[in-house]
Chains A and B, each alone.
Chain A
Amino acid sequence: MKKKFVLVLLLIFFSITFIILYSSLHKVEIYIPEKITNKSTIKFSAKDLFSNKEIDFNSLVKNDKLTIINIWASWCQPCRDEHPFLMKLGDDKNINLIGISYKDNIKNSKKFLNDFGNPFSNILIDKNGLISINIGAYGVPETYIINADKKIFKKYIGPLKEKNYLEIMSLSNENN
């Protein structure tokens, strides 16, 4: 009787442990502090992925459009997941979508865009991740919405989801 009881107890214990561990397998828990926007204006220049010319970021920001920066890499799986949303955002005439290719091989970046489509008006190369740190990024993918003063006023860490996409679209409509 006692043996059976211990066995059942053990079984319950292991099942609960399994459920807890299994359910947290796909949970990403990164603590993000309250401070998510920058006070300072974004200022950097980088090489363009296609023309290889040095481009000043400020020259890409247009006052009549909502400027969005998306940091991505061909080696990043979540970037593939959010790509359909970026394609839709790229189609919007009121959105100026600028890509930053994060620590990526140029060939692979181009192949990625060939395979999945290119929603970006410009893509700047961040070879060693320093530009992304200057913006205040953690890694890939990340999306930033920039106001006319070239300051970040919204930041999405991780892949864009349907609700984020809708939020950005409503911001774009408000802007116009």
Chain B
Amino acid sequence: MKIIKYFLLLLIILNFSLTKAFSNENRILVDKISKNLRCLICQGQSVYDSQSEFALSIKLLINEKLEKGNTEKEIYDFLKNQYGDWIVYDPKFDKKTLLLWGIPLILFIFGGILIFRKVFIY
């Protein structure tokens, strides 16, 4: 019986120490931001999904920056400055990504024209 009591006590203590690591409010934001970041070590995964040392550190860093009062944008900007745009899943619109953003739009318009011709002209 005594052992069970100690065991329960230990469990409670451990639980508290775990929840202290990230405050509830920050945890939601850390999750949100880390879902938008690519883990650069296991590149098929997001930082949120990955358990690599790199991803764990990034999550810690996001939490630390949030606690310091940094905004989400500031955190993304910091990471983009460190690792380049590749770390975010949302590539910005510039000369290099022009085709990436443009091709779907061009195909959409081209397809629309084809359908239009088929239906209304012939």
Contacts and interface: CB of A to CB of B under 8 A. Distances in A.
Do A and B share a complex? yes
A131 B51 CA distance: 19
B67 interface: no
B97 interface: no
B68 to A, nearest CB: 12
A129 B86 CA distance: 20
Contact of B57 (A31, A132, A136): A132
Contact of B84 (A33, A40, A132, A133): A33
Interface string B77-117: 00001111110000000000000000000000000000000
Given A133-B61, A138-B40, A40 B53 contact: no
A27 interface: no
| Interface of A, helix, strand, loop or mixed by DSSP | loop
A102 B86 CA distance: 24
Given A103-B53, A129-B54, A136 B82 contact: yes
Contacts, number: 46
B11 interface: no
Interface residues of B, number: 18
Given A128-B60, A130-B60, A133-B61, A139 B54 contact: yes
A136 B64 contact: no
Contact of B40 (A30, A39, A40): A30
B86 A33 contact: yes
A134 B83 CA distance: 10
B66 interface: no
B57 A129 contact: yes
Contacts of B58: 133
A30 B57 CA distance: 19
B43 A31 contact: yes
B9 interface: no
B56 interface: yes
8 contacts: A30-B41, A30-B43, A33-B85, A35-B84, A130-B64, A133-B61, A133-B82, A139-B41
Contact of A139 (B43, B53, B86): B53
A75 to B, nearest CB: 10
A121 interface: no
Contacts of B43: 30-31
Contact of A34 (B53, B60, B64, B84): B84
